[in-house]
Structures are given as structure tokens and as C-alpha cells.
């Protein structure tokens, strides 16, 4: 399969910095923000966004992870994987603005599952969605609040996000 690189390390860093600024602007500061990454790469992206937001706002941002495996409606179609840990930061999510963080938004099914998972944990005042790559092809009426990059793609193509912490390199590729 032929893969073409559409984002490199500097592009990803710029996108995350822009998303951090947009999150702070939308929230009117860092007060009450909680970032929850969706495994696997959403957790890494949330771990990166937290310090960026902290550097801009001057206050730490709670960062955690939210596994959605058991809330998915398509488990029969996809091979199951062992659930990852859900880690909710101290102070919980009740009354907070939760920003879900994921790498690629495609059908919207992971995000729907994440909304169900959040509902089983607590009651935030608002839930927002930050995505590194929005590739279109939604099956559900879900739209991100913060997007690093819109990358139109064919349904048959695969968008791969590679992150240094997991893959040794920062890049986004598209495979035919």
C-alpha cells in the first residue's frame, strides 16, 4: 500500500497549539476544564495538550483517559481489544467542561460511545470535542468543536496518525 504523508511533526505541533488556544478562548480561560483522551492516541494527544494549555493559561489542566470499548455499538464488526484504563482526574467531571480528545474523527461511533461512557461516570456542565484529524464520512450527527486539520479522504483510504511516544515519529499519513 502506498502511503503519503499529509502532516509532519511541526504541522502536528502547530495544530495542537492552535487547538489549545481555541479551547481556552471557547471556555473563557482554563477554569473548570478537564481533558479526557480516548485510547490509544487520543490519550497521548490529551497528554500533550494539557501542558500546552497550562503554558498559555498559567494553571495546570487535569488530564485523564476514557476507555469507550465496552460502550461501542460495533463490537461484533471489529475485533475486540482489551479495555484500557479509564482514569478520571481528582475532582471528577461533575460540573466541569470536559474536552474529549481523539486522533481521527471518522464515523462518529467512538465519540458516541464516549458520550455514553461519560454519562456513566458523572455529569459535566458541557462536553466538547477536540480532534487532530477530521476526515469526514460521519454516520452519526457528531461534529467536533476543535479541529487540528480537516483532511478530506475517500472511504476506502486509511488515515494513520503516528505519534512519537507510541510510534517513534510524529506524522499523519493516508493509505490508498
| Tens digit of each residue's pLDDT (9 = 90 or more) over 3-31 | 999 999 999 999 999 999 999 999 999 99
List the single range of 71-80, 98-107, 154-163 with lowest mean pLDDT: 71-80
Which SS3 state, helix, strand or coil, does residue 40 take? coil
Between strands 63-65 and 97-105, the pairing is unpaired
- The answer to whether the CB of 36 falls within 8 A of the CB of 98 is yes
Model confidence at 76, pLDDT cuts 50, 70, 90, reads low
Rounded Cα distance between 40 and 24, Å, is: 24
Residue of 49, 45, 62 whose CA lies nearest to 124: 62
Q: How far is the C-alpha of 145 from the C-alpha of 127, rounded, in Å?
A: 10
Residue 154 has pLDDT above 70, yes or no: yes
Give the pLDDT of residue 71: 84
The CATH number covering residue 89 comes to: 3.40.50.2020
User: Are the C-beta atoms of 132 and 149 separated by less than 8 Å?
Assistant: yes
Question: What residues have CB less than 8 Å from 167, skipping those under 6 apart?
Answer: none
Block residue for cell numbers 480528545: 101
Q: Place 75 in a pLDDT band, splitting at 50, 70 and 90.
A: low
Q: How many Å apart are CA 139 and CA 153, to the nearest integer?
A: 15
More confident residue, 74 or 95: 95
Q: Is the pLDDT of residue 121 over 80?
A: yes
Q: Which three cell numbers stand for residue 100?
A: 474529549
> Which structural domain, as residue segments, surrounds residue 171?
3-75+84-175
Give mean pLDDT, residues 72-86.
68
Structural domain tally of the chain? 1
Amino acid at each position: 500500500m502506498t502511503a503519503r504523508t499529509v502532516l509532519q511533526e511541526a504541522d502536528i505541533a502547530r495544530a495542537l497549539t492552535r487547538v489549545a488556544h481555541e479551547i481556552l478562548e471557547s471556555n473563557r480561560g482554563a477554569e473548570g476544564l478537564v481533558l479526557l483522551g480516548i485510547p490509544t492516541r487520543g490519550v497521548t494527544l490529551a497528554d500533550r495538550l494539557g501542558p500546552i494549555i497550562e503554558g498559555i493559561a498559567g494553571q495546570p489542566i487535569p488530564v485523564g483517559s476514557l476507555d469507550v470499548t465496552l460502550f461501542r455499538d460495533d463490537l461484533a464488526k471489529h475485533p475486540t481489544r482489551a479495555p484500557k484504563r479509564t482514569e478520571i482526574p481528582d475532582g471528577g467531571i461533575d460540573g466541569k467542561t470536559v474536552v474529549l480528545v481523539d486522533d481521527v474523527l471518522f464515523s462518529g461511533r467512538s465519540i458516541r460511545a464516549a458520550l455514553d461512557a461519560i454519562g456513566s461516570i458523572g455529569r459535566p456542565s458541557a462536553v466538547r470535542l477536540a480532534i487532530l484529524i477530521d476526515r469526514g464520512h460521519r454516520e452519526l450527527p457528531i461534529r467536533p468543536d476543535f479541529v487540528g486539520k480537516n483532511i478530506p479522504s475517500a472511504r476506502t483510504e486509511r488515515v494513520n496518525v503516528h505519534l512519537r511516544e507510541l510510534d517513534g515519529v510524529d506524522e499523519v499519513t493516508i493509505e490508498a
